[in-house]
Amino acid sequence: MLIQKSKIAFEDAKKVIPGGVDSPVRAFKSVGGTPIFIKKAKGAYLHDIDGNRYIDFVQSWGPLIFGHCDSDIEEAVLEATKNGLSFGAPTLVETALASEITQMFDNIDKVRFVSSGTEAVMSAIRLARGFMNKDDIIKFEGCYHGHSDSLLVQAGSGAVTFGSPSSPGVPADLTKHTLLAKYNDINSVKKCFESSKNIACIIIEPIAGNMGLVPADEEFLQDLRNLCDEHGALLIFDEVMSGFRASLKGAQGLSSVKPDIVTFGKVIGGGMPVGAFGARGEIMDRLSPDGDIYQAGTLSGNPIAMSAGLASLKKLKANPDIYDKLEAKAKKLTDGFKKTAKESGIELQVGVRGSMFGFFFSSNEVKNFDDALKCDTDKFALFHQKMLQNGVYFACSQFESGFICEPMSDEMIDEVIDISKKVFSELS
């Protein structure tokens, strides 16, 4: 498979864009090789500028449940563009999409739209801090919540650590208010509460998708809910990735635990850049202009993105059995991987939540970020390279989830499993 045009395009991009990419993971640094430059996509397939075709398990990092260029979403976008691309003023479609979301969740009375998941989480944390009148937050190692200052933290050496900056340009005075705990380890969370009486909230990906696919245990989520209630803190579910992806109600459709604030993204934009956060009325009413906690966005509620999201969400609600079908395909894929890997003497851990899936080159189950870091990332890099050469496009990092889309057929899944059998054999 030749990618000469992508190689030239990458060199040209590096001259005018830092690293040649607008988001670091796209640079392929963790898997090696050259990023593939995409020309077009349709359904389950990507097409690069060299004319190669790939079965796409990234799906724009999650939002495209109905695949690329879905006709219904495409029609909604084209119709909306006829009226203008952006107004910076209220439109009816914002209310329509907000109503669709709030009708689905007992714990969400109001939502506010923003333009990215990072912005949604940043705003949700500010809201939690303002509502509780406390400064500290708890997050979990391996959970990614965007690149805002308070959340770009790294672990220290102790059992309980206040965050230190993980990037130049992030002031330590900000990250000192972020406490780090271990995913699926309630004792580490209890120690955080013992070390600070100023905790406003806990934020968690209830289905972590940024250390590979690592779901939180139900008992762990319930314990978090209890700790928040006991200590007067809010529980935030970051469902930017899992919202409307793992199920129609995201992680909340698979768990009995109800968070105080939820952040959304990706799927509610139907592929357009969108984020949102929502909560019960007494919390959301603290936002300006009604309340004293400031949050704003000139292009928030963009009518094109709202139209795409509304079309996507209505289509999902009209086809609730789609999640069972997608999950069956995800399980078929990961079970096939596990079988073919075992035939080649390779240990592989796999997991599925709805249309999300993940796999690790490890002999042990992955429950947290420490476990994920022990996986064989070199073997994943080789696997990624060889699958790409055979026309299969996975996320270019061991620490990302994969996604199934509706246009993927069982025949496509069988094809990918057959390719994996050859690749695993080469790896062994």
| Residues classed as catalytic | 144, 238, 266
* Distances from the Cα of 147 to the Cα of 72, 116, 170, angstroms: 33, 11, 10
Q: Compute the distance between CA of residue 83 and CA of residue 66 in angstroms, rounded to an integer.
A: 25
Of 371, 332, 27, the C-alpha closest to 211 is 371
**Orientation of helix 71-81 relative to helix 303-318, angle to 10°:** 150
* Distances from the Cα of 312 to the Cα of 63, 70, 119, 252, 305, angstroms: 9, 9, 21, 19, 11
Of 301, 311, 242, the C-alpha closest to 276 is 301
- As given in the structure block, the two tokens for residue 178 are 């972020």
Q: Strand 136-140 vs strand 199-204: parallel, antiparallel, or unpaired?
A: parallel
Q: Compute the distance between CA of residue 216 and CA of residue 242 in angstroms, rounded to an integer.
A: 12
Contact 394, 387 (CB under 8 A): yes
Please give the full DSSP string across 39-102, using - where no structure is assigned: EEEEBTEEEETTS-EEEESSGGGTT-TT-BT-HHHHHHHHHHHTT-S--SS--HHHHHHHHHHH
Q: Compute the distance between CA of residue 205 and CA of residue 140 in angstroms, rounded to an integer.
A: 9
Contact 204, 143 (CB under 8 A): yes
Contact 222, 229 (CB under 8 A): no
Contact 368, 210 (CB under 8 A): no
Q: Compute the distance between CA of residue 412 and CA of residue 381 in angstroms, rounded to an integer.
A: 22
Of 309, 293, 347, 313, the C-alpha closest to 125 is 293
Of 255, 261, 259, 249, the C-alpha closest to 224 is 259
Q: How buried is 23 (Cβ within 10 angstroms: 0-12 exposed, 13-18 middle, 19+ buried)?
A: exposed
